[in-house]
Structure 1
Amino acid sequence: MSAHTSPTATYRLQLRPGFAFADAAETADYLARLGVDAVYASPVLAAAAGSTHGYDVVDPTRAAPALGGERGRVALGDRLHRHGLRLVLDIVPNHMSIADPVANPWWWDVLRHGRDSRYARCFDIDWSAGPVLVPVLADDGDDGAAALGELTVADGCLTYYEHRFPLAEGTYQAGDNPLEVMERQHYRLVSWRRQDAELNYRRFFDVATLAAVRVEDPAVLEATHGEVLRWVADGDVHGLRVDHPDGLSDPGEYLRRLRDRCDGWIVVEKILAPGEELPASWPVEGTTGYDALREVCGVFVDPAGERPLTAFAREAGVPVDFARVEEECRRRIATTTLAAEVRRIAALLRGVEAERAREAVVELLVAFDVYRSYLPEGRESWDRAVDRAVRRRPDLAGVLRRVDTEARADPRGELARRIQQTSGMVVAKGTEDTALYRCTRFVALNEVGGAPDRFGVSPAEFHAAAEHREAVWPHTMTTLSTHDTKRSEDVRARLAVLAELPKEFTAAVRDWTARAGLSEPALNLLAWQTLVGAWPIGADRLGGYLLKAAREAKLRTSWVAPDPGFEREVAEWAERVLADPDVARGVAAFVDRVRGPGWSNALGQKLVQLLAPGVPDVYQGTELWDLSLVDPDNRRFVDYGERRRLLERLEGGWRPPVDGTGAAKLHVVRQALGARRRHDLAGYRALRAVGAAAGHCLAFARGRDRRVVAVATRLPVGLDRGGGWRDTVLPLPWGRGGWVDVLTGRAVPATDGGGFTAARLAALLDRYPVALLERRE
């Protein structure tokens, strides 16, 4: 599936025990009828026991037995082929799970044989630092000393409760003291608290049970990718989604080697800062679409809401200077969570005092305005980071300039490589997993790849980005929801309405907080927005989400240092609020106010995403309304029976109302995907409405003959307040034949605009807030 045979659209399926290969196969006929032409599956290699996502691979040489193994994989491929669907696989080149050493034969061998293991080259281990540290021991403040007394030797293994570890040959005789036996091994069991500062193998972010893999070694790449590439060669897999390339030593070199073995469609999970481009040398079709997500969702946000929402957040004690908070959070991550990685980099600066070296490394890591640089390409982002670090810490200028000189002199050397690998980790953990949970002014903007300090996206910016995508990355993926988004597309669409009703919302939050507020301001504001955005929601889902959010924010509690009292307050808040009739009625009434405009935004952003440049992905279940929150909430099972029933009615000609069933969204998705299949959509032309309400219309034409037009309503509350569309018209592309809105089946009522055809928006959008026009001769 090379670029010219890229999918027209994909549908993401989250495979897991309970929804395995056979279950995925059962969706094939539905997905083909829906209109996608490729299934985009989560990782399918053998993963840790009970894995609900597949990113914790333990054996890259076989399909996951828990999903149905090789037989199930082949059967899925056969079923997809019969329905004209191709398969795109999510692959995980950066890390493997080592949570249970017994389950990972490579890691088991490394622990048993040390640096002499045939698999030692597969993992990024600092052997000069001594035995591999395994941070599994309980620690009640004694550095794990008491836990060492729980070690035993059984069945030829060193054991610690349910954990089992191998013994090197000749290191144990019956009756030996287990602690002394451990001292003879190539590893040491240590307190879990030591993982951040002392770990001597590279991890995936801060997850000690996910060990980084050295795919920069061609032999390791072959060992980890051989099975998937066999599926590609056999024609069973037609495209690859590469997880977290920024964690790799040299992403560009890895992708070039991957391209040599795979001529299919390849996209990378790369988070781009606004205005950032993928390196030109990467032989891929594009990203997984977070850049498009920011643009599509942002264009439905009213910039007029920024000032009052900012003022309210400041008044409530919520930080509003995102740049400052982001820097603080990144610095915290670099000096605590990723201290071991910083120490390893600093040790490369020979002759520099250790503390100054660490300070300089931290300052540079914090200073990047993108996730990472890719020397020797993209020198600009590296140079900006160095200059910013020097300005912030002139006392470290000498050390920083030395780092700069050495890294640029040897861009593929260990110093440059590790700094760049680690900068992405600092940004991801500092920004995505900390700052976005602290700056909660308006969380519709707080998304992976988002820009909370940029309050929305103007239509002009949106069109410019779409034109650029069509010209440069026409086969990139676009998305609105993923397994990693902080909240689903429909939650964001509803929350976008708050920017149009800032006074009403902030007044409501004052009242609700006075009656039942949380004691931490940022979490309190996040909680009320979440309650409005995801309503109706049960106490278990809401409480679980808020507890995760509080730990990610690291203000009053955290994953590594939980505060039981505050966590109890958070856990009880959801039940208390939902059980309070006055508060619950108030929230329900406010949601009634924003639900309709939220549906309008949701239909608009979905139509725009599906018809704009790129290859759109539909995340599982989101063809109906989906009010999911961050994982694991967004990996709940999908009711395909309900979706089939509604699809059958649509196939019979039903044109549903916009209501709580979500059938209108399914209608938009089906018709937009059908238009993609019926027409070559190459080309993009922005269309601009004329009239009093022109700013509320977002429209564009697709196809070289411009025979497909998408029309969406922006800022519906303001549109209604202003008296509706009134005399506003949308000039349509010139051509033979008339226009039909495939959503309503009606010919488009048009007026002569003086040399061109124009559609009256009041008539065009009287049934749905969106229109999908096709020219019929």
Structure 2
Amino acid sequence: MTGDAPASTYRLQLRPEFGFADARDQVKYLSDLGVGAAYVSPVLDATPGSTHGYDVTDPRLARPALGGEPARLGLADALRAAGMGFVVDIVPNHMSIEVETANPFWWDVLDKGRASQFAHWFDIDWSRGRILVPVLGSADDLDALTVEGRELVYHDHRFPIAGDVDGTPREIHDRQNYELVDWRRGNTELNYRRFFDITTLAAVSVEKQDVFKAVHGEVLRWVEDGDVTGLRIDHPDGLADPTVYMRRLREAAPYAWIVVEKILHPGESLPASWPVDGTTGYDALGEIFGVLVDPAGEAPMTALAAEAGQDTDYAAVEENARRLVTDKILVAEVRRIAGLVEGIDPVFAQPAVAETMIAFDVYRSYLPEVGESWTRAIATAKQRRPDLAVALDALDRQVTEHPTGELATRIQQTSGMVVAKGTEDTTFYRYTRFVALNEVGGSPDRFGIGLDEFHRLAAARDAHAPATMTTLTTHDTKRSEDTRARMAVLSELADDFAGAVRGWSQEAGLGEPSLELLAWQTLVGAGPISDERLVDYLLKAARESKLRTTWTEPDEAFEQQIRDWPARVRETVGDQVDAFVAHITAAGWHNSLSQKLIQLTSPGVPDVYQGTELWDFSLVDPDNRRPVDYAQRRHLLARIADGEVPPVDASGAAKLLLVHRALTLRRDRPELFRGYRPLRADGPAADHAIAYGRSEDLVAVATRLPVGLAEAGGWGDTTLALDAGPWTDVLTGRTLDGTPVRLASLLDQYPVALLVRG
């Protein structure tokens, strides 16, 4: 550990309707809940109206729309008085240029071109001469330009005018340092680096020391003043040199807790040279959920997907989706990289660059420190495209001989974009065999993990990254933890679910296999759900899959079919779907409590996403950014504080109890959460128990595969041996004197127990 880690964090999504003052009003509740630190979304000035804050426009300012500097200080003071930390999400990779007048640095570059003092802030290819700005509806729209003062105006867009204002608006435009073009040209001709495929987010060159200081100065001042105790770093894979960046940040904030939003594939670790405390927890999410999945469900779910007409070869689906990204979406980036390959005709260099990025089995390589992933990518590309061997050899040679050169830097920065857009944002909406596995950093082709593997990974986390963040829900997860937990029940009832879907699809199919399977799983996983939420989600999923409709080329007839679908379901099979949901709800609650206990007590710093201390059946953003009813949560927490031990029911109070007791214990008795030792139950249902000790004085016990457990007759004579007691279950207050303990007695009220000795 390199920074001072909090006992836990609670994620707050700040937005104009919920600013610094509103967050301050929740500090007492968070403290009563047991939270160690408030962890907030980006708080620097952002695009007007932004609901998330990742579109920063001016890193020198605490966002006025959130209350500005006075309100920020008020929140910091309240957290300090409560003995809580303050963790801030920062965005070093890019800035928003969507509203040109809101970003003073980009405005100056548009005005002065290469002569701007901020020109080096942005990664612009000046060989074109002018900055290409893809905002027009068509090339003919240049005639729609007007002049207002010293600004060119195009609908809601405003641009600076350099020089005189003589002539027509079009003539004035042609004299500027920027060129307004049809938005469709962005993917193929853009000459500034962007964030993924979003042309309104321009990449920032923070590898340059003066740029780093300028864009981090305000946040680092907060750290130095003691207002901010932790930093969450967004999208480090987009940085030119993540290692240098992390070292520079650590030097500037030596005592801060620093975690990075790094997506690790199974078996991958953070580069050892990064002086950070860990990731934001997607790796732990996959492990915790994976142990709750029944591998017996794989064959029936695969058969259902194949029967529906879906390609069940995950590798093939992923490769095709990534190729779509390199060939259609990130064309400008691929061309720019290909132009750097020496001695190879760009005609051959371009597909060689694309194939290499398509072939990555991780998001990016970290040359020269970590080279295995680069070597594997080149080998895979050669296997797939032997006709490109000469170009691939030239690319490999140049990158390995100059691992810090421009070619190596750009291809590593861009590979993460290809993987993210191709896998997370496309494949995860096409390969919908069992969508609970389709999570950020997840591997949909790995149908769960076993108990031994779970314990091995948890022990490794304790040994190598004890201060890493762990999570179950974030603003970027494809679905919330409770939605995912209920879906896990489907792995135990795969034959029943497959049979039900076959019947439902005959009555109310959607006609596109991937979306149809996703839709049925969503209905049972997140139900009951309003038509509006369901339609919004399915439209986003359909557009992201890019099979029948897209964001830029919508199929209106198909999208109308999606809008009509909830009503069709209600009229035909609605009662059957509702009955299936009712059948799996209780088991889903048990899975929710089990994964929450594991997350809150296993190695790492647990984060609670806003509102998920009660049941939360959210889907992908913006669905997961809906307002939280804190009054309801304060009321239930007060009842628990008065001694109520609630049942496991629709109120979710049992989950609130679990969160409160576990977080409070972590905060007040941190010595209990040291080390990790797997514990093995004995008896006929031993494989249904997940048990481990942290210190010698704390044991956590959770239930896995609750449907199979019930079908086998319950715990029976299954026992768990404990060290000499007495032990107290902090959830129920019951004391255990004897050992071994019968799990049928220990877990008769809740499917989980948190035992403290003494």
The two structures have a TM-score, normalised by structure 1, of 0.96
* Secondary structure at 2:573 match in 1: helix
Contact kept in structure 2, 1:749 and 1:760, CA below 8 Å: no
Q: Give the distance between the partners of 1:62 and 1:385, measured in 2 at CA.
A: 42
Matched, 1:255 2:246: yes
Contact kept in structure 2, 1:749 and 1:764, CA below 8 Å: no
Q: CA deviation at 1:188?
A: 0.4
* Secondary structure at 1:774 match in 2: strand
1:591 to 561, 581, 602: 581
Matching residue's letter, 1:146? D
Identity rate, percent: 62
The equivalent residue for 2:296 is: 304
The equivalent residue for 1:491 is: 483
The equivalent residue for 2:657 is: 667
Q: Give the distance between the partners of 1:276 and 1:743, measured in 2 at CA.
A: 36
Matched, 1:202 2:204: no
Matching residue's letter, 1:165? F
Contact kept in structure 2, 1:108 and 1:166, CA below 8 Å: yes
Query: After superposition, where does 1:72-471 map in structure 2 within 5 Å?
Result: 72-138=71-137, 144-170=138-164, 172-173=165-166, 176-263=167-254, 264-471=256-463
Matching residue's letter, 2:154? Y
4+ long deviations beyond 3 Å: none
Q: Give the distance between the partners of 1:351 and 1:83, measured in 2 at CA.
A: 63
Matched, 1:743 2:731: yes
* Secondary structure at 1:267 match in 2: strand
1:609 to 599, 602, 613: 599
* Secondary structure at 2:740 match in 1: strand
Matched, 1:28 2:27: yes
Q: CA deviation at 1:675?
A: 2.0
The equivalent residue for 2:554 is: 562
Q: Give the distance between the partners of 1:4 and 1:167, measured in 2 at CA.
A: 48
2:675 to 664, 678, 683: 683
The equivalent residue for 1:758 is: 740
Shifted more, 243-252 versus 391-400: the winner is 391-400
Superposed CA offset, 1:490-541 (max 9, x none): 0000000001001111111111111111010110010010011110100000
Q: Give the distance between the partners of 2:347 and 2:376, measured in 1 at CA.
A: 24
Q: CA deviation at 1:395?
A: 1.3
Matching residue's letter, 2:537? Y
Contact kept in structure 1, 2:594 and 2:752, CA below 8 Å: yes
* Secondary structure at 1:149 match in 2: helix
Contact kept in structure 2, 1:286 and 1:475, CA below 8 Å: yes
Contact kept in structure 1, 2:342 and 2:394, CA below 8 Å: no
Q: CA deviation at 1:351?
A: 3.5
* Secondary structure at 2:123 match in 1: coil
Q: CA deviation at 1:562?
A: 1.1
Matched, 1:70 2:69: yes
Q: CA deviation at 1:121?
A: 0.5
1:505 to 466, 474, 497: 497
Q: Give the distance between the partners of 1:567 and 1:502, measured in 2 at CA.
A: 29
Contact kept in structure 2, 1:749 and 1:763, CA below 8 Å: no
Q: Give the distance between the partners of 1:529 and 1:8, measured in 2 at CA.
A: 35
Contact kept in structure 1, 2:3 and 2:258, CA below 8 Å: no
The equivalent residue for 1:652 is: 642
Q: Give the distance between the partners of 1:671 and 1:299, measured in 2 at CA.
A: 23
Q: CA deviation at 1:577?
A: 2.1
RMSD of aligned residue pairs (Cα, Å)? 0.9
Superposed CA offset, 1:76-133 (max 9, x none): 1011111111100000000000001111000000000001100001000001122101
Q: CA deviation at 1:252?
A: 0.7
The equivalent residue for 1:726 is: 716
Q: CA deviation at 1:4?
A: 6.0
Matching residue's letter, 1:316? A
The equivalent residue for 2:752 is: 770
* Secondary structure at 1:320 match in 2: coil
Q: How many residues align?
A: 755
2:541 to 549, 566, 571: 549
Q: Give the distance between the partners of 1:341 and 1:695, measured in 2 at CA.
A: 50
The equivalent residue for 1:12 is: 11
Contact kept in structure 2, 1:496 and 1:598, CA below 8 Å: yes
Q: CA deviation at 1:5?
A: 2.6
1:517 to 501, 509, 530: 509
The equivalent residue for 2:60 is: 61
Q: CA deviation at 1:370?
A: 0.2
Q: Give the distance between the partners of 2:239 and 2:562, measured in 1 at CA.
A: 37
The equivalent residue for 1:753 is: none
Q: CA deviation at 1:380?
A: 0.7
Contact kept in structure 1, 2:399 and 2:408, CA below 8 Å: yes
Q: CA deviation at 1:576?
A: 2.9
Gaps of 5+ in 1: 139-143, 751-756
* Secondary structure at 1:374 match in 2: coil
Contact kept in structure 2, 1:369 and 1:385, CA below 8 Å: yes
Q: Give the distance between the partners of 1:72 and 1:688, measured in 2 at CA.
A: 51
Q: Give the distance between the partners of 1:145 and 1:633, measured in 2 at CA.
A: 36
Contact kept in structure 2, 1:267 and 1:477, CA below 8 Å: yes
Contact kept in structure 2, 1:6 and 1:475, CA below 8 Å: yes
Q: CA deviation at 1:749?
A: 5.9
* Secondary structure at 1:543 match in 2: helix
Q: Give the distance between the partners of 2:665 and 2:697, measured in 1 at CA.
A: 10
Matched, 1:600 2:590: yes
Contact kept in structure 1, 2:35 and 2:663, CA below 8 Å: yes
Matching residue's letter, 1:643? R
* Secondary structure at 2:501 match in 1: helix
Shifted more, 481-490 versus 504-513: the winner is 504-513
Q: Give the distance between the partners of 2:492 and 2:298, measured in 1 at CA.
A: 10
Q: Give the distance between the partners of 2:197 and 2:670, measured in 1 at CA.
A: 46
After superposition, the Cα gap between the structure-2 partners of 1:232 and 1:359, relative to the gap in structure 1 and judged at 3 Å, is: same
The equivalent residue for 1:141 is: none
